Amino acid sequence: MKIGIPKEIKTKEYRVGVIPSGVRLLVESGHEVYIEKDAGEKSRFSNDDYTQAGAIILQNPKEIYDTCEMILKVKEPQPQEYDLLKPGQILFTYLHLAPLRELTEILKEKEVIAIAYETVQEGKRVPLLEPMSQIAGKIAPMVASYFLSAHNNAMGVLIGGASGALPARVLIIGSGTVAKNAAKIASGMGADVVVMGRNPSSMTELEDIMPANVSTLYSNRYNMEKILPTVDIVIGAVYITGEKAPHLITREMLSLCKKGAVLVDVAIDQGGCIETSRPTTHDDPIFEVDGVIHYCVANMPGDYPVTSTHALTNATIPYVKKIADMGWQHASLEDAAIYSGVNVAGGFVTEQAVAKAHQMEYYELKSIIDNCPEFGGTV
């Protein structure tokens, strides 16, 4: 299979879809790998690193999309990439389609085979989301601490406090991978940390492994309204596979927050778990609503590409190889994790959560494969 890796063009997105060791694995398996010139530069991989591993360097994204059967990316296609997509082309990347109706319609119209990292699921695990969730969780307390400073029009509270001065109080909403890593870093910085979730086993685990400055609280509206006036930082860490994030802090609740508090909405890729959130970029990361600072950068790990690229591509490469070796149809039917990753195929939405979010018709992927001649089935 011809596999292409274009350079990421989302604002301040420095990751790349494959590292040289992944190229070598694919080439040794009989595949052709094409990578756009300088695509790995910010992740500290040169063009020579890729050519020595067996890749072919192409000069621009159009050559990549025109040449390749599978496009391997990190972030969802940007508007300037829409016209490059071709029918039947496999797109394997983070998509987060639930809040992105326009992109969902484009993928349908173009009849792309859109496989989303974030919905590849093994049991209860989302193995291609976990490494980036880990990194985003670790970043969140650091950016919150920085933007809590007075020169950012925030409270001017040091997250770890000082002798005779209390530390910041941090509320983390969620109890999954993002939450655990955010709690680990925030507690290590000396904050008073409260993790609010609904999964009893996850919260028990957190209590067992976290230091004494981390406590847990059951998530409901009553408890949220009681705790919001007491915290300096809120980290939204909610994820429901493929679905639009629920608004656990409503517009009305914002009035309960301290003036100058900082909200970091890590769930912004899925629409955000704070009603007043909207996607921001590393160039312009924050905005203020009613005196409360919002940080809603939709690609937080992209600013730490050396770490993030390694962590992501080490997780994705076994799935890439299986899809390339078997073809996406056979790989999907053979591997339930890949099957769960297919969000759009041949003009049909095959992920229930995405169909529900956009009120589009949902089609079972197996029926699409079985009944469409172009996918090897019969009508």
Q: Tell me how far CA of residue 214 lies from CA of 122, 181, 207, 245, 267, in angstroms.
A: 29, 12, 7, 25, 21
**Which listed residue (31, 96, 294, 358) is catalytic?**
96
Cβ(346)–Cβ(364) under 8 Å? no
For the beta carbon of residue 239, count every other beta carbon within 10 angstroms. 22
DSSP type of residue 113: E
Signed CA dihedral, 74, 75, 81, 87: sign only: positive
Residue 315 neighbours by CB under 8 Å, 6+ apart: 127, 128, 130, 131
Which residues does residue 35 pair with via DSSP β-bridges, in sequence order?
5, 57
Q: How far is 374 from 368, CA to CA, in rounded Å?
A: 10
- In the residue annotation, 269 being an active-site residue is answered as yes
Q: What are phi and psi of 316, to 5 degrees?
A: -80, -30
User: Tokens at residue 75, please?
Assistant: 């972030």
Helix, strand, coil % (nearest 5) of the chain?
45, 20, 40
Supply the DSSP symbol for 7. P
Determine contact, residues 289/254, Cβ cutoff 8 Å.
yes
Are the beta carbons of 95 and 104 closer than 8 angstroms? no
The counts of H helices and E strands in the chain are: 13, 15
φ, ψ for residue 223 (rounded to 5)? -65, -35
Among 265, 269, 303, 335, the active-site one is: 269
Residues with active-site annotation: 96, 269
